[in-house]
Structure 1
Amino acid sequence: MPPQRATLLQVAQRAGVSRSTASFVLAGRHLDMRISEDARQRVLRAAQELDYRPNLMARSLRTKVTRTVALVSDTLASDPYAGRAINGSLAAAVAHGHLLFIGETEGDPVVEEKMISDFLDRQVDAFVYASMFTRYVRVPKQLKGRPVVLLNCLTRGSQPAQHQIVPDELAAGWSAATTLLEAGHSGGIHLVGNPGEHVFAARERLAGIREGLHTAGARLAGTIECEWWPDSAYEAVSRALAEGLLPRALICLNDRIALGAYQALREAGLIIPDDVSVISFDDSELAAWLRPQLTSISLPHYQLGWQAVEKLLGPPTGPAVHRLPMPVRRRASVAKPPVR
């Protein structure tokens, strides 16, 4: 059996003070309660000797505050890369003296409802409602009126009811375009991927790319459509090259697409970046593994998680949409265009 934990009364008896005095000292209220320094030191020494730890369950029942946060997501926690948002959330929670509970629903609304109910039964103080992919959501009815911050998701409407933390995909598209423009590219730039309107990141990235190119009087030369996976990108780029396409630069909608494009370009005898520059989005570990290393626009997962909890537990401010910067990780896959 585990040893019995020391009680506040035992600490008070060892220190030779009343139970209320010991409680005030351990709560840091010795100054406003005018407790002598000698008594304070006796209480602290007794607590250390007895290895006293406060009963947080009892305290939460009295104060209705548990100093806990629940992060509810679809599949965010199980993704090794996007899971850095969990690391950021955890670090911010610890910085504020809170525990972070993590629940994953796999997108099942029944599981989500049960999970949120269980967290509410445990008197969780506040919630981060998160999504693996940036998208529009409806906040569950159980969370209405409770402290909630949205992580990597948004609600529709011009006046947000909660803080909403998302990556700035529009500015990321602009950065991809201007990175190529700064390298000297003005033509022969092709997009690789499926820029479907139903995918938030694709829509925002494409809009930013077009705006960035437009400022220099340039435009996309075309789109090589494929799914957001290496095999689909490889087949699509290989087919385009076999049909006579000779691009000067490829903007891939994510790093997995870039992997497939790399393979297709190499098989066609084209050298990156001497013949074709390649730039991408996400800055996953894949970007640094590729050779040459891939220039990619970084998704700030850690910062997203940190900011979500910081907005939840930090100084109160009016709800707003916060778009976090996506920095360019410049590597060796972009160079000035070849002379043809």
Structure 2
Amino acid sequence: MNRKATALDVAKRAGVSRSAVSLVLNGRGDGNVAKESQDRIRLAAQELNYSPNAIALSLRNQRSRIIGILSDEVVVSPFDGNIIGGADDVARSRGFVTVVMDTERDTARDASAIETLLDRQVDGLMYVTVGLKPFEVPQGMLRVPSILANCYDEHPEPQLHHVIPDEVKGGREATEHLLQLGHEDIALLAGAAESPAAPLRVQGYREAHVAAGFEAREDRIFMAGWDIDAGFHGAMKLLDDVSPANRPTAIMCANDRLAIGVALAAGRLGLSIPADLSVMGYDDETRIADTMVPALTTMALPLREIGRAAMTTLLDSIEGNTAEAETTVETMVPCRLVVRESTGPAPTR
């Protein structure tokens, strides 16, 4: 039977000390071990199929190496699961495991779910929401290092760090894409009025117009909701019984489902996308944006990146890698423009 590799075997192959191997594989290499040596250690560990003994590591560090992740409905929803996926990627790469619970939008279960996770001796907690929203932090989250992902502490003086998408910049860059294609009359189906993300995307839309020297038309902004039928009816109001000279040449949507509705309305009216009308989505929703005909230009929400950034910040706090002078409570993750076939040059009028 082949002998299982040890940390000493890794050290010999990488040409470093055993303590250096321990530091790197336990997530404490930065600042203690040169990057080149860290790379050699990780490569040697991979080649030897070596990983630290989690139980022994927990006993030495007085840690469980378990992170509790609580969500409002991410687990039971088709949206935003990539946040948890990104967080788990980072946790596993640093020798932690995650335990996930979902309250199915029952906020009354938050406190008890957190207590359940704390009873399991988790080293830290993360709360994840579907859609950007404010969050009232349960007291239990203040007993261990904790972080918020895709939501933010609504307390006047936030108690926890949060990681959220840069919605203003996303709205601005989406609008800039259409302006650069020559569109001057751009309508915006902006989502639901009660959503914290919607006004931020509207702000970005307005900022892009100002920067380009155009006045954003307020009568082109509609708080339409989020669903396909809302996109259809919103587009019909903008496009039906309107002369070509008076209808928008582009419609920007606050999510990809609205964009589906716009595309259906355009088809009903005999308008070609993008020759007659450019359509811009938001989210880059899997199995929707890239499979539409024509494929949808959209702003990709950085869900996996949010999860990775949140878990990295949390684990750095747990392992003492956060600078003492660090006082920021917010990390903004940029959205990404994905250009496909649904947007094109503005039609000549």
Q: TM-score, normalised by structure 1?
A: 0.79
CA distance change for structure 1 residues 258 and 61 in 2, over 3 Å: closer, same or farther?
same
Q: Distance in 2 between matches of 1:265 and 1:327?
A: 26
Match in the other structure for 1:173: 171
The corresponding residue for 1:20 is none
Determine the structure 2 residue equivalent to 1:141: 139
Residue 335 (structure 1) aligned to one of 302, 319, 344: 344
Match of residue 46 from structure 1: none
Distance in 2 (alpha carbons) for counterparts of 1:104 and 1:253: 26
By how many angstroms is 1:195 displaced?
5.0
Name stretches of at least 5 consecutive residues in structure 2 with no aligned partner.
1-17, 24-51
* C-alpha displacement of 1:54: 6.1
Deviations 1:69-91 (A, max 9, x none): 01111011223341111110110
Q: Relative to structure 1, is the Cα distance of residues 54 and 307 closer, same or farther in structure 2, using a 3 angstrom cutoff?
A: closer
Does 1:190 pair with 2:199?
Answer: no
Counterpart of 1:3 in structure 2 is none
Q: Which residue among 327, 333, 340 is the counterpart of 1:324?
A: 333
Q: Which residue of 2 aligns with 1:96?
A: 94
1:271 and 2:266 equivalent? no
Name the CA distance, whole Å, in 2 between partners of 1:290 and 1:199.
26
TM-fit CA distance, 1:179: 0.4
Aligned partner letter, 1:205: R
The one-letter code of the counterpart of 1:166 is I
Counterpart residue number, 1:300:
302
| Whole-angstrom CA distance in 2 between matches of 1:194 and 1:327 | 19
Please tell me whether the aligned partners of residues 83 and 128 of structure 2 are also in contact (alpha carbons under 8 angstroms). no
Match of 1:202 in 2: 198
> CA, structure 1 residues 240+102, in 2 after alignment: closer, same or farther (shift >3 Å)?
same
Deviation at 1:157, TM superposition (A): 5.5
Please say which of residues 105-114 and 115-124 is displaced more in the overlay.
Answer: 105-114
| Cα gap change, 1:339 to 1:147, in 2 (>3 Å) | same
| Deviation (angstroms), 1:63 | 5.2
Describe the SS at the equivalent of 1:291. coil
Going from structure 1 to structure 2, the CA distance change for 1:182 and 1:240 (only over 3 Å counts) comes to: closer
Equivalent residue for 1:217?
213
CA distance in 2, matches of 1:263, 1:283: 18
The amino acid of 1:191's aligned partner reads L
Across the aligned residues of Structure 1 and Structure 2, the Cα RMSD in angstroms comes to 2.4
Q: CA separation in 2, counterparts of 1:312 and 1:224? A: 38
Q: Which residue of 2 aligns with 1:261?
A: 262
Are residues 55 and 267 of structure 1, via their aligned partners in 2, closer, same or farther at CA, if it must alter by over 3 Å? Answer: closer
1:111 Cα offset (Å): 2.2
Residue aligning to 2:42: none
- C-alpha displacement at 1:185, in angstroms? 1.3
Equivalent of 1:124, from 105, 122, 125? 122
Contact 1:224/1:240 (8 A) holds in 2: no
* Cα 1:194–1:267 shift into 2, 3 Å: same
Question: CA 1:307 to 1:225, structure 2 compared with 1: closer, same or farther past 3 Å?
Answer: closer
Q: Does the Cα contact within 8 Å between 1:160 and 1:321 map onto a contact in 2? A: no
Amino acid corresponding to residue 186 of structure 2 in structure 1: I
Report how many aligned residue pairs link the two structures. Answer: 290
Letter in 1 for 2:293: R
Q: Deviations over 1:183-236 (max 9, x none)?
A: 1112x211124451x311101000011011111122135134522100122123
Using the aligned pairs only, state the percent identity: 30
Quote the residue 2:159 is aligned against: 161
* Deviation per residue, 1:102-127 (Å, 9 max, x gap): 01011213322221111111111100
Tell me if the contact between 1:225 and 1:236 (Cα under 8 Å) persists in the aligned partners: no
Aligned residue identity for 1:304: I
Whole-Å separation in 2 of the counterparts to 1:141 and 1:225: 35
Deviations 1:280-300 (A, max 9, x none): 210112111111111100101
Structure 1 unpaired stretches of 5+ = 1-23, 30-52
Alpha-carbon separation, structure 2, partners of 1:54 and 1:284: 39
3-state SS in 2 of match to 1:123: coil
- Rounded to whole Å, the distance in 2 between the matches of 1:295 and 1:137 is 31
The answer to whether the Cα contact below 8 Å between 2:190 and 2:202 also exists between their aligned partners in 1 is no
Deviation at 1:60, TM superposition (A): 4.9
Q: Is the 8 A contact 2:73 2:103 kept in 1?
A: yes
Match in the other structure for 2:281: 280
Amino acid at match of 1:119: L
Larger radius of gyration: 1
Give the ranges of 4+ consecutive aligned residues of structure 1 lying more than 6 Å apart after TM superposition: none
Partner of 1:152: 150
Q: Quote the offset at 1:133 in angstroms.
A: 1.4
Following superposition, the deviation at residue 28 of structure 1 comes to 6.3
